[in-house]
Structure 1
Amino acid sequence: MSVQERKQRERAVRERLIVATARELAEQQGWDAVTTRKLAERIEYSQPVLYSHFRGKREIIGAVALEGAAEMAVAMRTATGAAEGPRERVAALAGAYLDFAAHHPAVYDALFQLDGGLAYAQEDTPEPLKDAFAAMLESLGEVAGDGVHPGLFTETFWAALHGIATLTRAGRLPPEGAEQRVELLVDRLALV
């Protein structure tokens, strides 16, 4: 292995450590607790080392979001892959999405609430974000209904899931009725 290859590998390891540490700190204490100073202390590198990887917190949030999007896509595909029939796939997708949002709140915030400097629904949207949307489209496209654009339907269904996830987490929707909300969403929007 060349010196250049070793340095690149070490840099990648440091970058993964920064992202993992930021994510862990955000999940434990919220994103306000994530500062370059705290990250530098936790990973035992100087702040200039952090800045050699990321220009600041915004880019770190973006990196956490991209990692989270990839994980969310896997979770949705895993859930829908085990389901039989279109309605079951849509219900499994909704469940996987809401479970991810509930169990990874800081990652979910990085994806959808905070500014990580990422482009959404544009030509330059990063691949992990496109793939997470594609994971939804794979199951939702088949239930969009006649004359409805599958992408538009997926955006609408996603917006409904996001609303449920956000309102539930904020305590604005009571925990009882959670399953019925998903069933209602699936039954009313997914035409199977």
Structure 2
Amino acid sequence: HGILGAAAMVALFPSEAILLRILPSRVGLWVHALMQILAICVLVAAVGLGIHLVQDMSDSDINSHFIIGLVVMACLILQPIFGIIHHEKFKRLRRRTIASYVHLFNGRICMTLGIVNGGLGLWIAGASDKLKIAYIATAAALWTLWLLTAIWGEWRIWKMTPRPCRRRKLRSPTSWTHQLGETSF
């Protein structure tokens, strides 16, 4: 349960979000989508094992880990739907919509909450200090890398978005389109 949960929340979800930002747009989009589906499958398996483990227990600490895990899984199962809606609307409108922000923030909140829940699971399981330190170090490193990549991606979008004061500097709509490029994130 713990290994699958950590693989999904600490390795797969952050990696697919990072790759989305650093790979060329079409390649990044496909890698993001396929890895997200894989991560969700691994997470569902982890939650299934967690349900099996918790059936005979009644500790309130275990219940909090269990409930957080179920909520994170339920929200992340919806991620591909939000992502498809975002992508289809973005292709048509060439701007972010409410679906875009739901997809972004649902993913960001769930990824962070899932990583924290993994630490809670290690504490509940009475894991060794070495294992806790290894989890925290790995999770913190990947979470930080993911956060920095997300900030960089948002900065790139902000930089390429025409502003009223920037429009005066642009010579024609053609040059604006050329500067904006194919970025859809």
**What TM-score do the two structures reach when normalised by structure 2?**
0.29
- Higher normalized helix content (fraction of residues): 2
Higher relative contact order (CA 8 A, sep 6+): 2
